[in-house]
Every structure is written in structure tokens, then in C-alpha cells.
Amino acid sequence: MTASELPAVLVVDDHTNMLRLMTKVLSADARVLTAHSGREAIELLSRETINVVLADLNMPEVDGLEVLRACKRLQPDAELVLMTAYASVPSAIEALRLGAFEYLTKPFEPEAAREAVLRAIGKAHGSAGVVGDELLPGMVGASTKMRDVAKLVRNFAPSQATALLLGETGTGKERIARAMHLLSPRASTRFVAVNCAAIPSELLESELFGFVRGAFTGAAKDRAGLFEEAADGTLFLDEIGEMPTALQAKLTRVLEERTIRRLGESRERPFDARIIAATHRDIETMARTGGFREDLWYRLNVATIKIPPLRERPEDIEVLAVKFLNEFKAKEGTQAVGFTQLAMSALLTYPWPGNVRQLRAVVERASLLCPAQRLDLGHLPPDLSEPPPVGGAGVDLAALSWTEALQQARAGAARYYLEEVLRRHGGNVASAAAHAGVERESYYRLLRRFGGKERDDDGRGSVPPPSDSKPPLPDDSE
């Protein structure tokens, strides 16, 4: 994409350092224009096509609210994101009432501003809005399970306790660790991440603790390790279940003493980094069977958060898919702004062994292949677009068109599964949902989506839909 094809973002602030910072942060995603005052911003809005305005609320003479009013008058399709201090939050809320897209409370991380601008670009381009809430910085969701995770993250973030994130590969453990860092008193300091499985075991110790000159062949000068680099900040030890046992013993001592010793050195060095560890392994079982040091497990198992796989929280699939589609449109200029019913049904019924990481890759690939405004079934990988076996009888699929047959097969298989599980559990939706590994409300939603028969928890006929139910996606696949 050429510079002229990028979306235009106008950054407005009376502080030159903020203009420079936001220009650097946004330049890969947008054509950035800057204005040192509200008056200069309004002048630019009158002669330049702008997609998103990122403006400070408190500026002399012409403030952010006046820029917002001028933006709505001069370029009604543009979106405005406000930057504001804590004391000005009531004014920011008033700005939302007047049509601002979002506000950022200072101080904020540059990445948080970038993601807010990307969401605003998506909306300005007519992308489907994200359903659900921003549960944590940079993370959206709609499921009860992820709301519970977000609550734990917010509870643990202010403390200095070692945190442990457990979850399958691709569930977003590093993203949650970063969110915990951003919500902590250490937010303005460094977040240092290391994948313990990606570094050879013989090098991992020196990488973590550092070394002094002459400690081993090739150690030509002193070098600080990651514990020291993360001083006053957060050190994220990903895949700690892969750490060699000998190094686990040293890490246990480090966590107990809060000191480290560089290789080849005798003196202890204190460190003040907050430690967040993560693994996809069942290290509790490993600790019981000798595969992981039990004393280290006890040290880590303080602020523990289990992140559920994507298949156990289907309410988040649509939310995340739309978010990713908006991001790729803003970044790559792709055409798709939404999903057909067939495509979304395929996403919702797929088990996602690679979790959120796999979903993101699938949506990115499909958005690059899609020349239309709606991403359809044919743009998805074969393992998602091939229909599952129909678990019922009576439909002559060969008499239908390809699209009709595919829709009928997928819907039939889903309907059969949902109704059969419900039958085996005596019509008890709560029990059926637990068997399927989804929330009760999700089970209701899937029954309605695929035309299954609903029963109450005693199996006595149909029940009204929950109050938060959503209408089915339009069937625009033709």
C-alpha cells in the first residue's frame, strides 16, 4: 500500500513531544498529519480528507471539544479519539455524548493509542463494529469466562506477587501479561519477555542472569541479564514448563532471595522486577510426578490465572474475528468489512485447536483473499469450509446448489449435535452446556442460530430467548 492509500490521521496537541511520539507510533498504519493547536486542526479539516482525529482535550484557545464539533461539521464520516487527563474525564464523557469515538486517559501506553486509532479507522471505513467490551488494554471479549479472567488480572495487577498464567498455546498469555503490566504501578517501565523454550538450555542461564568477562569462552565483556534489564519493570517468563530442572533450582532461589548472581561472579545483585510466568503445560501434575520442581511450583502458584481455550468461549469468536478484520482493513487496506452468515457459522462451529492465534491467522488470510465487502465461506481454509457429516437423514443435498448444500449440511450437523446432547441430558440446558463446554447462554444462542428446539431446564418445552440475545446474521451469501 502506498503512502497516499493509507488512512489519514490528524494528531492535535500543543506539546511537540506528543506529536512526535504519535507520528512515530502511527506512521506504519496511517498517513499522519499534525497540528499544534485546535485552530490549526480545524483549518486542516477544512482542506484535507481525514479519517481519524487524535486530539488532546485541554488546549489553549480552541480545545478538543471545539475540534470535535468542527470535525462533525466539516467531515462527518471522520472519527475522533480524545486524549485527556484524569481531571478532565467528565469533559471526555461529554465528548462521547457529542459523538467522539473513544477517549484515552493520560498517561497511556503508545500501543493503547495505536489500537484505539486502528479501531476508529475501522469504523470510519464502515467496518463492522466490534461486539463486546474491551476487557483489558488491547483485549476485547464477550464471554463470562474472559470477563472472569479480566477481573482476576485487574485484581492481581497492582500487587508485586509473582503471577502464573496457564493456558493452551495461542490463548493470548503474553497479551494478558502485557495487560497486567499496563494496569500495574510499573506501567511506565519496561516489559521484558523471554520464551524459555526458544533459547537453548545451555544459554538460558546467561540470558536470564547475565555474565562477567571470562565466565566462559567468548565472554569478552560483562553483560547484564534479563532480570537486570527488567529492573523496576516486569519480566515475563513464557513457557516456563520447558525450563531445565537445574535452572529451575536457581530460579527458585532467585524468587526467594530477590537477588541474582551473574555467571562467573560471586556477589549478589538485588533486583526489583515483577515476575509473570506462563506455560501451556500442566505443571501442577508435572510437580507431583517429578517433571517440575515442586518448590518452584509453590513459588509460582500465587496469583494464578487459567485462560480458557477459544472453543470453551464461543461468544468471543465473532468479537475477535470482527476486531481482527477491522485491524487488517486499517493496516492492509483490504476490502472486507464483514462476514456472511455461512462464513461466521463456520468460524463459530470450528474447534480452534490453535486458539486465538489461529483465528487471527485465518481472518488475515481470508481478508487478503476476499475481493468483496463480505468475507464468505470460500475465503476460509479448507478445514473450516468443508461441511461436517450431517448427523440426520432426509435431505437430498445433491439437489441443492453448492452454497445451499453447504449451508444445509453445516446447519444440520450443528442442529443435530445440539439437540442430541440436549436430549441425552433430559432437556436440561445447563447440563447440556456443561457437556459441550460452553456457557448456558451460548447454548441457547447456538440453538437459535441453527434452528434447534429449546427446552427449559426441566425439559418442559420451549423457553424464551435470554434478554441479551442477538438477531441472527443476515443471510447475504448469495
Q: Which triple of cell numbers denotes residue 457?
A: 431446564
Express each pLDDT in 402-412 by its tens digit.
666 666 666 67
Give whole-number Cα distances, 230 to 17, 327, 412, 448, in Å. Answer: 25, 30, 54, 50
Packing angle between helix 355-369 and helix 315-332, nearest 10 degrees? 50
Please say whether the beta carbons of 319 and 130 come within 8 A.
Answer: yes
The domain segmentation of the chain, as residue ranges, is 3-125, 144-306, 314-385, 401-478
Nearest to 30 by CA among 122, 95, 92: 122
Q: Classify domain 3-125 at the CATH class level.
A: alpha beta
Which residue's entry shows cell 487471527?
360
Q: How far is CA 412 from the centre of its chain?
A: 32
Percent of the chain, pLDDT > 70?
82
Confidence at residue 407, expressed as pLDDT on a 0 to 100 scale = 63
Mean pLDDT of 449-457: 55
Mean pLDDT of the chain: 81
Residues 6+ apart with CB under 8 A from 87: none
Please say whether the beta carbons of 386 and 415 come within 8 A.
Answer: no
Q: Classify domain 144-306 at the CATH class level.
A: alpha beta
Q: Which triple of cell numbers denotes residue 365?
A: 488470510
Using the predicted structure, report yes or no on whether residue 362 has a pLDDT greater than 90: yes
Distance CA 223, CA 210 (A): 5
Give whole-number Cα distances, 290 to 11, 165, 251, 258, 346, in Å. Answer: 56, 21, 17, 25, 42
Distance CA 237, CA 208 (A): 10
467: phi then psi, degrees, rounded to nearest 5: -65, -25
Confidence at residue 392, expressed as pLDDT on a 0 to 100 scale = 39
Which residue type, as a one-letter code, is found at position 131?
V
Please say whether the beta carbons of 442 and 432 come within 8 A.
Answer: no
Q: What is the pLDDT confidence band of residue 393, given thresholds at 50, 70 and 90?
A: very low
Using the predicted structure, report yes or no on whether residue 39 has a pLDDT greater than 90: yes
Nearest to 119 by CA among 103, 107, 95: 103
Q: What's the predicted TM-score (pTM) here? A: 0.57
Confidence at residue 285, expressed as pLDDT on a 0 to 100 scale = 92
E strand residue ranges, 202-244 = 210-211, 223-224, 234-238
Express each pLDDT in 158-215 by its tens digit.
999 999 999 999 999 999 999 999 999 988 889 999 999 988 877 888 888 888 777 7
Distance CA 161, CA 276 (A): 9
Confidence at residue 418, expressed as pLDDT on a 0 to 100 scale = 82
Q: How many helices (H) and strands (E) would you count in the chain?
A: 19, 18
Cis peptide bond prior to 107, omega within 30° of 0:
yes
Q: What is the pLDDT confidence band of residue 275, given thresholds at 50, 70 and 90?
A: very high
Q: How far is CA 391 from the centre of its chain?
A: 35
Using the predicted structure, report yes or no on whether residue 458 has a pLDDT greater than 70: no
Q: What is the pLDDT confidence band of residue 453, given thresholds at 50, 70 and 90?
A: low
342: phi then psi, degrees, rounded to nearest 5: -65, -45
Please say whether the beta carbons of 55 and 38 come within 8 A.
Answer: yes
CATH 1.10.8.60 fits 314-385, yes or no: yes
Q: Classify domain 401-478 at the CATH class level.
A: mainly alpha
Least-confidence region, from 16-20, 143-147, 279-283, 421-425 = 421-425
Distance CA 114, CA 45 (A): 21
Using the predicted structure, report yes or no on whether residue 23 has a pLDDT greater than 50: yes
Distance CA 404, CA 407 (A): 5
